[in-house]
Structure 1
Amino acid sequence: MTINQRISAFNQLAQLFKYITNKTLPTCEALKTKFESLDETIGYAISDAEAYNNWFTKENVFFALDNWAEALTTSNLAEWVKDYPMATTPKNVGIIMAGNLPLVGFHDLLSVILAGHNALIKTSSKDDKLMAFVIQFLQGIDEEFQTIIQTVERLEGFDAVIATGSNNTARYFEQYFSKVPNIIRKNRTSVAVLNGTETLEDFKALGDDIFRYYGLGCRNITKIYFKSEEQIPTFFENIMDWGNIVINHPKYANNYDYNRAIYLLGKDDFLDNNFVLLKKDQNLHSPIAVVNYEIYEDLDQVKSFLNENQDQIQCVVGHDMKDNPNYVEFGKTQTPTLTDYADNIDTLKFLAEI
């Protein structure tokens, strides 16, 4: 299968995602008919995804599909891969996927296929329904995908591995897959550094960076550096639109109640706006429904600390942070492009060199 055929298949997938989220039909009559015939299957896939993982609300699934629909245009994909030679001898690349966000492992699958390799996929039980639907659709476009993409219970016969997990599982992965080329991903999170020049729109966008997907992703902001205490009321006021969305989700609400009770019992220093806890804490990582914060005086010290802890950070937001390699604009952490690689490791470059 040529690179153009592979790109075409993923572009058809993008058109399907557009159809799912806003019923936009393609101009191709054959695709129109095919998409409309999939209505029942689509409905089952989305409802099953939420039934098996309550974090996967319809709204969050649609948000993820919309992002991928924007990314998977023919021009975007062609531009992305143009500097990477497609493999002449396909290798079997094992992919151990995470499941914290809808289709969070899709970028790895896309990378492996466009690099010219075969994908052996170990899906997460938290995100196997949507991924199975995507794979089934691709295999329906071209039978060759039935060989190129295989879902497995146990990885065997692999030439390279891309594995995503926690810091604990990463140690196991590093040992188990040490004899083959590998990318082993660990826990990361994202931070914001505020300097006092933020607009109300910046604060609202920051709310998106914090609460989209209920804060479950490595691109969600879990730590804020405020220039002064006076910024906090403005911050709380401008994230209020997220209040009803998150606190009415049972799992999020349970986390909020639990962490609030723990902090009260421990007499910890925190602020509360009835749907998120703002806790004074030096840690970059925070529990669900909690955002850690510090008040800083020296911006250079903050920058130095973030640079020293690059291995824990995926995104950095803030007007003064444009020189940081992980810099992202306010409100953009959850809309990554094709070149926004997890753990900042160029997956296509890795796949071109195995």
Structure 2
Amino acid sequence: MAPSTWVVVGASRGIGLELVRQLLGRGNQVIAAVRAPETANEIWQLAAQQTRPAACLIEQCDVTKEASIDAFVGAMKRLIDQGVRIENIVLNAGILKYPNQRATEISFGDFALHLHTNTIGPIIIAQKLLKISEAAPPAKVIFISSDSGSTQLFRDHEDGFGAYGASKAALNQMLRHMAAELKRKGGKHADVCVLAMHPGEVQTDMANIDLDWEVEGIITPEESVRKMLVVLAEKGKDDSGTFWCWDGRLRAQVSLGSVLILYPVGGHGDTRVFYRRRTTRLSCAGRDTVVRSVPKLKATATTTATATALATRYFQKPCTQYGEKGSATAATTIWGVPSRLPLSE
């Protein structure tokens, strides 16, 4: 991505701090929002190391307090009025209090704190920043979410993650509504790309807790951010409302009631369509299971063009491709489609 201006909310440590560091290293201007500037020593040190004027601006923003959010948005409006174009917004602020998050035990206050920090605050900030930039809205609004909030891939082993998972699930649903509303609004807002990102199992202060289960694939903030930036650079308005992993895998946010598989027939340019109304949940990690689970007795023959047109009518792009072993034909394409796909088609 060409250098531009980024807003990073939740920039004092961990993923947010590393994001600011890498963005500055690529020549971007960064507005770093932190809850308590007086104690955010590392972000001040990072800002002081910059040789470019106003490369890193530090602002105060407590996502749990509406007055603080309004003051921060006011500061952003003043920058916009001075000619600054905010291209990208990252909502990274978050909290994870463990283990007292169980649905059977959590207090009113702790549940409210997770919702205000992980869901309500980030959504309201994005909403208000979009309103003050009507003439030139940002290209991308990125919410740092989590696999723990996936309703499709529910993790029942994450004991004590109830409030965190619920707050991230609510965030995922709200940002999808935000993406849809911006598209309906039309004009320049239809070009805004709203994304959810799962940063991976990252070794940060927030994640430095003693869990009752083994966490696999732990990565550093440096690796997480570096790879997320690659993914973000590839996304545009057609991807708005989707949920992506740090390594580029697409995460389904809602239950995929059906699966449509386009299976190429070698040498004839034809495609067999395999369709099943209820199938195993579709994730990129489980594509082999999906292929095996769809009964080929349900197949109907059609042309590749017709089958692709049918799939694109219900789903914007394929979730993944599955290459048949020993086959000279093109890769099988798996499409997740909503359950409203009529059987007659």
State whether TM-score is above 0.5.
no
TM-score for both structures, normalised by structure 2: 0.31
Q: Which has the higher contact order (CA 8 A, sep 6+)?
A: 1
Bigger helix fraction: 1
TM-score for both structures, normalised by structure 1: 0.31
Bigger strand fraction: 2
